[in-house]
Amino acid sequence: MVTHTQSARTGQRERAGEASGIAERSRPGLGQRLGGFLERSWRPFALLAALFVAWWGVTAAELVEPYLVPSPGNTFDAIAARPEYFWEHTWTTTYETVLGFVIAIAVGVVAAVAMVQSSTLEKTLYPLLLFAQVIPKIAIAPLFVVWLGFGLGPKILVAVLMAFFPVVISMVTGLKSVDPEMLQLSSTMGAKSGQTFWKIRFPASLPHLFSGLKVAATMAVTGAVVGEFVGADAGLGFVILQANGNLDTPVLFAGLLIMSLLGVLLFVLVEWLEQLLLPWHASRRDEGASTTL
Amino acid sequence: MAGYAVEIDDVTVRFRSKKRDVTALADVTMHVEPGEFVSIVGPSGCGKSTLLKLSSGLLPASKGDVRLFGEPVNGPRKDIGYVFQKAALLEWRSARKNILLQAEMRKMPAKEAAARADELIEMTGLSGFEDALPHELSGGMQQRVALCRALLHRPPVLLMDEPFGALDALTREQMNVELRRIWQETGTTVLLVTHSIAEAVYLSDQVVMISARPGTVAGVVDVNLPVERDYGPTMAEPEFAKATRHIRDHLGAAAAAE
Ligand SMILES: Nc1ncnc2c1ncn2[C@@H]1O[C@H](COP(=O)(O)OP(=O)(O)OP(=O)(O)O)[C@@H](O)[C@H]1O
Ligand SMILES: [Mg+2]
């Protein structure tokens, strides 16, 4: 009882000078934000470390033949032995992936907007989209090589094809999920359709778009590597194929490792962009306004 | 000709869907003078929201004429302010920016709009929360933001669809007093849909009762209370009791006749 009243009184004293219980807060500094980031994301890193230790343990105890699963040491040695080689091929795959991803976003968003504007267009395009999605990319990739040659073209095209679908679907869903009363309200304000689009429809669709972009980011990496598998003289897909041919498992593992890292990095980048562009959505999702004691 | 602010003449609204045809309103006639405060009461689903959407041109009439200041309504009208049943705020905009959406869409001069927004924020007690996002506001505060947004451009007609439905009794009373004052200051014509008979009588010059589906005008009650209405004393007036009893009896009788 006593402590209760005391704490209530301290609370009152702290609040003295604040108008009606509102206290302005200053923006967190860089250090604070970094600390917050670490606090939130140490778990995945811990898991990663645990997996790494497990990998190391399995190879150190020689539970499997080294030529089947190389040790982490051997894998890193393989990278360290030829850094320019890995750098060059990683760069090629990164380039294809990012370019494919960006093209997929541009084309996907424009297609989604067009489809939402016109239902005839939607009915025409949807089956085509679905068809492009269900057809196995690995099966049409050779065709792209025939058409576009051994350069970057076919790899980027496969990456675009893989990343395109989640972008369109999420954007269409987003554009359609706007509260109809919001649109009615907009018409009572005498808004032009362009105004309604930019001020209401488009921003409202962004959370949906970003969940699609996260899927698309990982798809783009897969697409680029699939493109490389079919015919390439550069890129991580090429590295893996070559290492496979030579039964060089350390290099193969190194390629796989870098490839996954690339996917994760792109994913994290999209997530970071989401937090930057849609702070209102992020704070709503993880209850940004925590209660203080 | 241009005598009435809102004119609804012999209007029928039918909704046609795959499964059924619903006649929401049947042969409704209603006239509202400029500057009048009119409340609409009636059972749920009787077509009150439909009536408001009709007046603003958001819904076409299946039969009959709707006129705003003598001008036929065909298509959404912009010389109104609309407060929806839900607050309908943009989640990514702060309270102030949500209010200013009205100004941006109408391309109002920025300075004038900002001044007006400040005035309304002050008036509705939202000061200190201008830059709060909607999810950081209470339900009542969100409704107040929606009210400010509807008033920003000083609309000649204000249409409100159960704006205080989500509020607690006390806040609701405060908002009633507030709305009454705003109405007196601005002189706009108000059409208010409400489920609260007390609210309707306290606020209005006239209460229109709508019968259950298909909605028809079941009666109109003129509220003969003075223009200056203090909340407590007004509630105690015999005229207040008479009007509320009349409405309650009427709606009750309509329900019993079902
Ligand atoms: N868009 C629509 N399509 C089909 N029927 C509709 C539509 N809007 C309303 N209705 C029907 O019209 C009738 C009247 O609806 P309305 O929303 O006007 O009722 P209300 O009086 O506002 O009810 P409440 O008090 O519950 O808000 C209802 O029976 C409803 O089913
Ligand atoms: Mg309603």
The terminus-to-terminus CA distance of chain B in angstroms comes to 39
In a domain, A45, yes or no: no
**Binding site membership of B45 for ligand 1 (Cβ less than 6 Å):** yes
Domains contained in chain A, number: 1
In a domain, A68, yes or no: no
CA distances from B209 to A182, B48, B217, B222 (A): 28, 10, 6, 11
- Residue B136: list chain A partners with CB under 8 A: 289
State chain B's mean pLDDT as an integer: 87
CA distance A266 to A272: 10
Residue-wise pLDDT for A161-173, tens only, equals: 999 999 999 999 9
Residue with tokens 């679908």: A165
State chain A's mean pLDDT as an integer: 82
How far is the centre of ligand 2, averaged over its atoms, from the C-alpha of B58 (Å)? 14
CA distance B190 to B193: 10
- Note the pLDDT of residue A9: 40
Residue B206 contacts residue B35 (beta carbons within 8 Å)? no
Q: Is the pLDDT of residue B211 over 80?
A: yes
Closest CA to B55 of B222, B194, B214, B192: B192
Mean pLDDT of B170-176: 84
CATH fold of B1-79+156-258: Rossmann fold (3.40.50)
Tell me whether 0.95 is exceeded by the ipTM.
no
Q: Is the pLDDT of residue B145 over 90?
A: yes
Q: How many helices (H) and strands (E) does chain A have?
A: 13, 0
How far is the centre of ligand 1, averaged over its atoms, from the C-alpha of B45 (Å)? 5
CA distance A246 to A251: 10
Residue-wise pLDDT for B63-116, tens only, equals: 888 999 888 888 888 889 999 988 889 999 999 999 999 999 999 899 999 999
Percent of chain B's residues with pLDDT above 90: 32
Give the global pTM.
0.81
Residue-wise pLDDT for A56-113, tens only, equals: 888 888 888 878 888 888 888 888 888 899 999 999 999 999 999 999 999 999 999 9
Based on the number of CB atoms within 10 Å of its own CB, is B180 exposed (0-12), middle (13-18) or buried (19 or more)? buried
Where does residue B137 fall: left (phi above 0), alpha (psi -120 to 50 degrees), or beta otherwise?
beta
Based on the number of CB atoms within 10 Å of its own CB, is B233 exposed (0-12), middle (13-18) or buried (19 or more)? exposed
- Note the pLDDT of residue A272: 87
Could you tell me if B241 lies within 8 Å of chain A, comparing CB atoms?
A: no
Q: Which domain holds residue A191?
A: 92-284
Chain A residues within 8 A (CB-CB) of chain B? 19-20, 22, 179, 181-182, 184-191, 195, 199-200, 203-204, 278, 280-281, 283-284, 289
Residue with tokens 């989401």: A274
- Note the pLDDT of residue A5: 42
**Domain residue spans of chain B:** 1-79+156-258, 83-154
Indicate yes or no: CB of A187 within 8 angstroms of CB of B58.
Answer: yes
Report residue A155 CA to chain centroid gap: 19
At residue A144, what are phi and psi to the nearest 5 degrees?
-60, -35
Could you tell me if B19 lies within 8 Å of chain A, comparing CB atoms?
A: no
Mean pLDDT of B178-195: 89
CATH number of the domain at A147, please. 1.10.3720.10
In a domain, A48, yes or no: no
Mean pLDDT of A123-139: 85
Local structure of residue A199 (DSSP, 8 states): I
**Binding site membership of B213 for ligand 1 (Cβ less than 6 Å):** yes
- Note the pLDDT of residue A250: 87
Q: Is the pLDDT of residue A258 over 70?
A: yes
At residue A267, what are phi and psi to the nearest 5 degrees?
-60, -50
Mean pLDDT of B170-174: 83
Residue B121 contacts residue B148 (beta carbons within 8 Å)? yes
In a domain, A41, yes or no: no
Closest CA to B6 of B81, B58, B63, B56: B56
Closest CA to A235 of A248, A221, A249: A221
**Binding site membership of B228 for ligand 1 (Cβ less than 6 Å):** no
- Note the pLDDT of residue B1: 47
Mean pLDDT of A273-279: 86
CA distance B119 to B113: 10
Q: Is the pLDDT of residue A292 over 50?
A: no
Ligand 2 ion: Cβ-proximal residues, 5 Å cutoff: B 49
Residue type, A150: F
- The 10 Å Cβ neighbour count of residue A231 is 17
Of the residues B105, B145, B161, the best mutation for testing chain A's interface (the one with the most A CB atoms within 10 Å of its CB) is B105
